[in-house]
Amino acid sequence: MASMRHIISITDLTKEEIIEILDIADRLKDERRKGILKEYLKNKSLGMIFELPSTRTRVSFEVAMNDCGGKALYLNWNDLQLGRGESIADTARTLSRYVHAVMMRVKRHETIAEFAKYSDVPVINGLSNMEHPCQILADLQTIREKKGKINVKLAWVGDGNNVCNSLILASSILGFEMVVATPKGYEPKSEILSKAREIGGEIELLNDPKKAVEDVDVIYTDVWVSMGQEKERNDRIRTFKEFQVNSELLSYAKGDVIVMHCLPAHRGEEITDEVIDSEKSVVFDQAENRLHTQKALLIKLIGDLNVG
Protein backbone atom coordinates (compact mmCIF):
# COMPACT_ATOMS: atom_id res chain seq x y z
CA MET A 1 0.00 0.00 0.00
CA ALA A 2 1.07 3.58 -0.50
CA SER A 3 2.78 4.78 2.64
CA MET A 4 2.15 8.03 4.46
CA ARG A 5 4.31 9.90 6.89
CA HIS A 6 3.47 11.15 10.33
CA ILE A 7 -0.12 11.33 11.61
CA ILE A 8 0.22 14.12 14.15
CA SER A 9 -3.06 15.82 13.30
CA ILE A 10 -6.22 14.54 11.66
CA THR A 11 -5.36 17.09 8.95
CA ASP A 12 -2.39 14.91 7.98
CA LEU A 13 -5.02 12.79 6.24
CA THR A 14 -7.03 13.82 3.21
CA LYS A 15 -10.73 13.15 2.86
CA GLU A 16 -9.96 10.31 0.48
CA GLU A 17 -7.44 8.76 2.86
CA ILE A 18 -9.85 8.94 5.79
CA ILE A 19 -12.55 7.18 3.77
CA GLU A 20 -10.04 4.55 2.65
CA ILE A 21 -9.01 3.91 6.27
CA LEU A 22 -12.66 3.54 7.29
CA ASP A 23 -13.30 1.11 4.44
CA ILE A 24 -10.28 -0.97 5.46
CA ALA A 25 -11.38 -0.85 9.10
CA ASP A 26 -14.83 -2.16 8.16
CA ARG A 27 -13.19 -5.05 6.31
CA LEU A 28 -10.86 -5.84 9.23
CA LYS A 29 -13.74 -5.71 11.72
CA ASP A 30 -15.71 -8.19 9.64
CA GLU A 31 -12.70 -10.48 9.28
CA ARG A 32 -12.03 -10.49 13.02
CA ARG A 33 -15.64 -11.33 13.81
CA LYS A 34 -15.34 -14.31 11.44
CA GLY A 35 -12.14 -15.39 13.16
CA ILE A 36 -9.97 -14.41 10.22
CA LEU A 37 -6.65 -12.85 11.23
CA LYS A 38 -4.07 -12.17 8.53
CA GLU A 39 -0.46 -11.11 8.95
CA TYR A 40 -0.85 -7.66 7.44
CA LEU A 41 1.90 -6.38 9.76
CA LYS A 42 4.16 -9.45 9.74
CA ASN A 43 7.65 -8.75 11.11
CA LYS A 44 6.71 -5.12 11.85
CA SER A 45 7.22 -3.49 15.23
CA LEU A 46 5.54 -0.50 16.85
CA GLY A 47 7.16 1.47 19.65
CA MET A 48 4.49 2.91 21.97
CA ILE A 49 5.71 5.78 24.15
CA PHE A 50 3.43 6.68 27.06
CA GLU A 51 3.94 9.84 29.09
CA LEU A 52 0.31 9.56 30.26
CA PRO A 53 -1.80 6.63 31.52
CA SER A 54 -3.93 4.71 29.05
CA THR A 55 -6.47 1.92 28.76
CA ARG A 56 -7.98 2.01 25.25
CA THR A 57 -4.97 3.44 23.41
CA ARG A 58 -2.48 0.96 24.84
CA VAL A 59 -4.63 -2.15 24.55
CA SER A 60 -6.06 -1.36 21.11
CA PHE A 61 -2.66 -0.64 19.54
CA GLU A 62 -1.06 -3.67 21.18
CA VAL A 63 -3.85 -6.01 20.09
CA ALA A 64 -3.86 -4.44 16.62
CA MET A 65 -0.21 -5.28 16.11
CA ASN A 66 -0.61 -8.77 17.57
CA ASP A 67 -3.70 -9.60 15.47
CA CYS A 68 -1.84 -8.61 12.31
CA GLY A 69 1.34 -10.56 13.03
CA GLY A 70 3.41 -7.67 14.36
CA LYS A 71 4.87 -6.69 17.70
CA ALA A 72 4.10 -3.73 19.97
CA LEU A 73 6.56 -2.50 22.58
CA TYR A 74 5.19 -0.60 25.60
CA LEU A 75 7.65 2.16 26.50
CA ASN A 76 6.86 4.12 29.64
CA TRP A 77 8.33 7.61 29.52
CA ASN A 78 10.03 7.21 32.90
CA ASP A 79 11.48 3.80 31.95
CA LEU A 80 13.21 5.34 28.95
CA GLN A 81 16.22 7.61 29.05
CA LEU A 82 13.75 10.40 28.28
CA GLY A 83 12.95 10.28 31.99
CA ARG A 84 16.62 10.97 32.75
CA GLY A 85 17.05 13.84 30.36
CA GLU A 86 17.93 12.32 26.98
CA SER A 87 16.72 14.64 24.27
CA ILE A 88 13.61 13.91 22.25
CA ALA A 89 15.67 14.23 19.07
CA ASP A 90 18.22 11.61 20.16
CA THR A 91 15.46 9.24 21.27
CA ALA A 92 13.70 9.63 17.92
CA ARG A 93 16.91 9.02 15.96
CA THR A 94 17.62 5.89 18.01
CA LEU A 95 14.15 4.33 17.97
CA SER A 96 13.97 4.88 14.20
CA ARG A 97 16.77 2.29 13.90
CA TYR A 98 14.77 -0.31 15.85
CA VAL A 99 11.06 -0.05 15.05
CA HIS A 100 8.93 0.52 11.97
CA ALA A 101 6.63 3.14 13.54
CA VAL A 102 6.15 5.01 16.81
CA MET A 103 2.91 5.88 18.59
CA MET A 104 3.08 8.54 21.31
CA ARG A 105 0.68 9.58 24.09
CA VAL A 106 2.08 12.76 25.61
CA LYS A 107 1.28 15.87 27.61
CA ARG A 108 2.40 18.44 25.07
CA HIS A 109 1.67 18.44 21.35
CA GLU A 110 5.07 20.00 20.75
CA THR A 111 6.71 16.81 22.02
CA ILE A 112 5.24 14.73 19.19
CA ALA A 113 6.02 17.42 16.63
CA GLU A 114 9.66 17.48 17.72
CA PHE A 115 9.92 13.70 17.81
CA ALA A 116 8.47 13.46 14.30
CA LYS A 117 10.98 16.02 13.04
CA TYR A 118 13.85 13.67 13.86
CA SER A 119 12.16 10.32 13.24
CA ASP A 120 12.83 8.32 10.09
CA VAL A 121 9.72 6.18 10.66
CA PRO A 122 6.05 7.20 10.85
CA VAL A 123 4.94 8.80 14.11
CA ILE A 124 1.30 8.51 15.23
CA ASN A 125 -0.36 10.84 17.72
CA GLY A 126 -2.05 8.59 20.29
CA LEU A 127 -3.14 11.70 22.23
CA SER A 128 -1.72 15.12 22.98
CA ASN A 129 -3.17 18.20 24.64
CA MET A 130 -4.01 19.56 21.18
CA GLU A 131 -5.43 16.61 19.23
CA HIS A 132 -6.54 12.98 19.32
CA PRO A 133 -6.75 11.88 15.66
CA CYS A 134 -6.93 8.13 16.37
CA GLN A 135 -10.06 8.63 18.46
CA ILE A 136 -11.71 10.55 15.65
CA LEU A 137 -11.10 7.77 13.11
CA ALA A 138 -12.93 5.37 15.43
CA ASP A 139 -15.70 7.93 15.92
CA LEU A 140 -16.16 8.31 12.18
CA GLN A 141 -16.37 4.55 11.70
CA THR A 142 -19.00 4.40 14.45
CA ILE A 143 -21.06 7.24 12.99
CA ARG A 144 -21.02 5.64 9.56
CA GLU A 145 -22.05 2.27 11.04
CA LYS A 146 -24.95 3.72 13.02
CA LYS A 147 -26.17 6.38 10.60
CA GLY A 148 -25.16 4.86 7.28
CA LYS A 149 -23.30 8.04 6.37
CA ILE A 150 -20.74 10.53 7.64
CA ASN A 151 -22.63 13.60 6.49
CA VAL A 152 -24.40 14.14 9.82
CA LYS A 153 -25.00 17.05 12.15
CA LEU A 154 -22.99 16.65 15.35
CA ALA A 155 -23.19 18.62 18.59
CA TRP A 156 -20.22 18.72 20.93
CA VAL A 157 -21.33 19.50 24.50
CA GLY A 158 -18.74 20.34 27.14
CA ASP A 159 -15.11 21.41 27.12
CA GLY A 160 -13.44 22.54 23.90
CA ASN A 161 -10.60 20.05 24.38
CA ASN A 162 -8.25 17.96 22.22
CA VAL A 163 -10.95 15.54 21.02
CA CYS A 164 -13.19 18.47 20.16
CA ASN A 165 -10.30 20.06 18.24
CA SER A 166 -9.77 16.98 16.09
CA LEU A 167 -13.50 16.59 15.48
CA ILE A 168 -13.73 20.19 14.32
CA LEU A 169 -10.93 19.62 11.83
CA ALA A 170 -12.44 16.32 10.69
CA SER A 171 -15.80 17.99 10.11
CA SER A 172 -14.07 20.57 7.92
CA ILE A 173 -12.21 17.91 5.92
CA LEU A 174 -15.27 15.70 5.44
CA GLY A 175 -17.90 18.41 5.19
CA PHE A 176 -20.28 17.45 7.99
CA GLU A 177 -22.02 20.00 10.18
CA MET A 178 -20.78 20.59 13.73
CA VAL A 179 -22.06 22.71 16.60
CA VAL A 180 -19.91 23.27 19.69
CA ALA A 181 -21.55 24.21 23.00
CA THR A 182 -19.20 25.21 25.81
CA PRO A 183 -19.33 27.56 28.79
CA LYS A 184 -17.89 30.97 28.02
CA GLY A 185 -14.12 30.83 28.18
CA TYR A 186 -13.90 27.13 27.38
CA GLU A 187 -14.27 27.33 23.61
CA PRO A 188 -11.95 25.42 21.26
CA LYS A 189 -8.56 26.98 20.58
CA SER A 190 -8.64 29.86 18.11
CA GLU A 191 -5.89 28.33 15.98
CA ILE A 192 -8.01 25.20 15.50
CA LEU A 193 -11.02 27.27 14.46
CA SER A 194 -8.87 29.29 12.05
CA LYS A 195 -7.43 26.12 10.55
CA ALA A 196 -10.91 24.66 10.16
CA ARG A 197 -12.12 27.77 8.35
CA GLU A 198 -9.08 27.67 6.04
CA ILE A 199 -10.06 24.11 5.09
CA GLY A 200 -13.60 25.30 4.42
CA GLY A 201 -15.43 24.30 7.57
CA GLU A 202 -18.09 26.34 9.32
CA ILE A 203 -18.30 25.64 13.05
CA GLU A 204 -21.15 27.10 15.06
CA LEU A 205 -20.14 28.11 18.60
CA LEU A 206 -22.82 28.35 21.29
CA ASN A 207 -23.02 28.63 25.06
CA ASP A 208 -26.45 26.96 25.26
CA PRO A 209 -26.36 23.13 25.16
CA LYS A 210 -30.13 22.81 24.68
CA LYS A 211 -30.05 24.94 21.56
CA ALA A 212 -26.95 23.12 20.34
CA VAL A 213 -28.58 19.68 20.32
CA GLU A 214 -31.68 20.72 18.37
CA ASP A 215 -31.99 18.71 15.15
CA VAL A 216 -28.65 16.91 15.54
CA ASP A 217 -27.87 13.30 14.68
CA VAL A 218 -25.05 12.93 17.18
CA ILE A 219 -24.34 14.32 20.66
CA TYR A 220 -20.73 13.98 21.78
CA THR A 221 -19.28 14.76 25.20
CA ASP A 222 -16.08 14.18 27.17
CA VAL A 223 -14.81 14.67 30.71
CA TRP A 224 -14.87 18.15 32.18
CA VAL A 225 -11.56 17.66 33.97
CA SER A 226 -8.81 16.26 31.76
CA MET A 227 -5.42 14.98 32.83
CA GLY A 228 -3.36 17.87 34.19
CA GLN A 229 -6.43 19.95 35.15
CA GLU A 230 -7.02 18.36 38.55
CA LYS A 231 -6.40 21.65 40.40
CA GLU A 232 -9.28 23.21 38.44
CA ARG A 233 -11.67 20.38 39.28
CA ASN A 234 -14.05 22.15 41.67
CA ASP A 235 -14.29 25.25 39.48
CA ARG A 236 -14.89 23.18 36.37
CA ILE A 237 -17.61 21.06 37.99
CA ARG A 238 -19.49 24.24 38.92
CA THR A 239 -18.95 25.87 35.54
CA PHE A 240 -20.04 22.88 33.46
CA LYS A 241 -23.01 21.66 35.51
CA GLU A 242 -25.55 22.88 32.92
CA PHE A 243 -23.69 20.96 30.19
CA GLN A 244 -24.38 17.47 31.48
CA VAL A 245 -25.64 15.03 28.85
CA ASN A 246 -28.74 13.66 30.56
CA SER A 247 -32.28 12.62 29.64
CA GLU A 248 -33.53 16.21 29.79
CA LEU A 249 -30.91 17.37 27.28
CA LEU A 250 -31.73 14.45 24.98
CA SER A 251 -35.37 15.53 24.96
CA TYR A 252 -34.33 18.59 22.92
CA ALA A 253 -32.65 16.42 20.26
CA LYS A 254 -34.01 14.21 17.47
CA GLY A 255 -35.61 10.95 18.49
CA ASP A 256 -32.96 8.86 16.77
CA VAL A 257 -29.98 10.80 18.13
CA ILE A 258 -26.94 8.77 19.18
CA VAL A 259 -24.68 9.68 22.10
CA MET A 260 -20.90 9.44 21.96
CA HIS A 261 -18.13 9.66 24.56
CA CYS A 262 -14.45 8.85 24.00
CA LEU A 263 -14.04 7.43 27.53
CA PRO A 264 -13.06 7.26 30.32
CA ALA A 265 -16.35 8.73 31.54
CA HIS A 266 -16.92 10.41 34.88
CA ARG A 267 -20.44 9.11 35.34
CA GLY A 268 -22.70 11.57 37.08
CA GLU A 269 -20.65 14.53 35.86
CA GLU A 270 -20.58 15.11 32.09
CA ILE A 271 -22.95 12.18 31.41
CA THR A 272 -25.48 10.23 33.46
CA ASP A 273 -25.67 6.47 33.91
CA GLU A 274 -29.14 6.57 32.39
CA VAL A 275 -27.79 7.97 29.11
CA ILE A 276 -24.46 6.16 28.79
CA ASP A 277 -26.16 2.81 29.44
CA SER A 278 -29.13 3.54 27.16
CA GLU A 279 -29.87 2.27 23.66
CA LYS A 280 -28.91 5.69 22.31
CA SER A 281 -25.34 5.28 23.57
CA VAL A 282 -22.71 4.02 21.11
CA VAL A 283 -19.86 4.63 23.53
CA PHE A 284 -18.57 1.07 23.64
CA ASP A 285 -18.85 0.70 19.88
CA GLN A 286 -16.52 3.67 19.65
CA ALA A 287 -14.11 2.00 22.05
CA GLU A 288 -14.13 -1.21 20.00
CA ASN A 289 -13.59 0.68 16.77
CA ARG A 290 -10.33 2.10 18.08
CA LEU A 291 -8.93 -1.37 17.38
CA HIS A 292 -10.17 -1.62 13.82
CA THR A 293 -9.34 1.91 12.66
CA GLN A 294 -5.87 1.76 14.21
CA LYS A 295 -5.23 -1.55 12.46
CA ALA A 296 -6.23 0.12 9.22
CA LEU A 297 -4.00 3.12 9.90
CA LEU A 298 -1.01 0.92 10.76
CA ILE A 299 -1.50 -1.17 7.63
CA LYS A 300 -1.75 2.00 5.58
CA LEU A 301 1.50 3.28 7.09
CA ILE A 302 3.71 0.21 7.38
CA GLY A 303 1.78 -2.89 6.34
CA ASP A 304 0.50 -4.84 3.37
CA LEU A 305 -3.23 -5.33 2.84
CA ASN A 306 -2.59 -7.83 0.04
CA VAL A 307 -1.14 -10.67 2.09
CA GLY A 308 -2.57 -14.24 1.94
For residues 108 and 151, what is the distance between their CA atoms, to the nearest angstrom?
A: 32
Co-location of 153 and 239 in the same domain = yes
What's the domain count of the chain?
2
Q: Are residues 85 and 201 part of one domain?
A: no
Tell me what pLDDT residue 229 has.
78
Q: Are 30 and 113 in a shared domain?
A: yes
69 and 144 in a single domain? The answer is no
Amino acid 308: pLDDT = 65
Q: 3-state SS string over 113-142?
A: HHHHHHCCCCEEEEECCCCCHHHHHHHHHH
Residues noted as catalytic: 105, 132, 135, 222, 262, 290
- My answer on whether 125 and 143 are in the same domain is no
Do 139 and 277 lie in a common domain? yes
Whether 187 and 233 share a structural domain: yes
- Based on the fold, state whether residues 238 and 182 are members of the same structural domain: yes
Please give the pLDDT value at position 231.
Answer: 84
271 and 293 in a common domain: no
Residue 53: C-alpha distances to residues 88, 127, 198, 264 (Å)? 19, 11, 34, 11
pLDDT, position 46: 98
Cβ atoms within 10 A of the Cβ of 30, count? 11
Three-state secondary structure call for residue 159: coil
Whether residues 156 and 271 fall in one domain:
yes
150 plus 228 within the same structural domain? yes
Q: Answer yes or no: is 18 within a domain.
A: yes
Judge contact between 302 and 3, C-beta under 8 A: yes
Residues 124 and 197 in one domain: no
Specify if 282 maps to a domain.
Answer: yes
Structural domain contains residue 1:
no
Q: Is residue 308 part of a domain?
A: no
Boundaries of domain holding 33? 10-132+289-302
* pLDDT computed for residue 4 by the predictor: 57
- CATH number at 192 reads 3.40.50.1370
Asked whether residue 104 is assigned to any structural domain, the reply reads yes
Q: Is residue 5, in this structure, part of any structural domain at all?
A: no
Tens digit of each residue's pLDDT, the chain (308 residues): 445 589 999 999 999 999 999 999 999 999 999 999 999 999 999 999 999 999 999 999 999 999 999 999 999 999 999 988 999 999 999 999 999 999 999 999 999 999 999 999 999 999 999 999 999 999 999 999 999 999 999 999 999 999 999 999 999 999 999 999 999 999 999 999 999 999 999 999 999 999 999 999 999 999 998 877 788 899 999 999 999 999 999 999 999 999 999 999 999 999 999 999 999 999 999 999 999 999 999 999 999 999 86
Domain presence at residue 307:
no
pLDDT of res. 1:
45
